[in-house]
A = this chain, B = another copy of it.
């Protein structure tokens, strides 16, 4: 068993913040060490490479995310309720793992081409499937409009949710639930006042 990763987690959180702020490649290990209060070489007592830190950050984030998503999907709610729950969980995840989400958003596209980060592509496929199925179920059930391109809608919804990680600051004036509520209201009802069809 791992001894007691107090300090280890502390360093990893620091690394995540720096990665999120400056970008992975632009971040030097000396910069991370500085922020964590030790010297660059000492990082290698806790981790065996810079890449391992990134890997661990992303894996922890995805693991937790899929635990929550899995619970939502297993509940077999109606399409509209599923969408609301997925969106809300996403904003909660941003609240908890802001740095990891920002890193994922910025780096996953080119990282997923490396074999080591192939699981990013896998996760994205599961993600897309869950969302597409929910939207299609909703269209079939009459919960959602039939004249919108489902795939386009999925992309818009997905992007808007996750990009929030770049401006969201925990402890601000909006709670994750409040942001989710406003977002869902916009996406479901639109920003124009209600009219007839």
Contacts and interface: CB of A to CB of B under 8 A. Distances in A.
Interface of A: 21-26, 80, 106-107, 109-110, 142-145, 147-149, 152-153, 155-156, 159-160, 163-164, 166-167, 174, 179, 182-183, 185-197
A186 to B, nearest CB: 6
Contact of A23 (B25, B189, B197): B25
A151 to B, nearest CB: 10
A93 to B, nearest CB: 17
Given A23-B110, A186-B187, A193 B142 contact: yes
Contact of A152 (B107, B152, B179, B187): B179
A47 to B, nearest CB: 20
Contacts of A159: 159-160, 163-164, 166
A56 B75 CA distance: 52
A190 B190 contact: yes
A79 to B, nearest CB: 11
A191 B187 contact: yes
Contacts of A182: 148-149, 152-153
A191 B194 contact: no
Contact of A187 (B80, B163, B190, B196): B190
Nearest to A183: B156
B144 A80 contact: no
B192 A148 contact: no
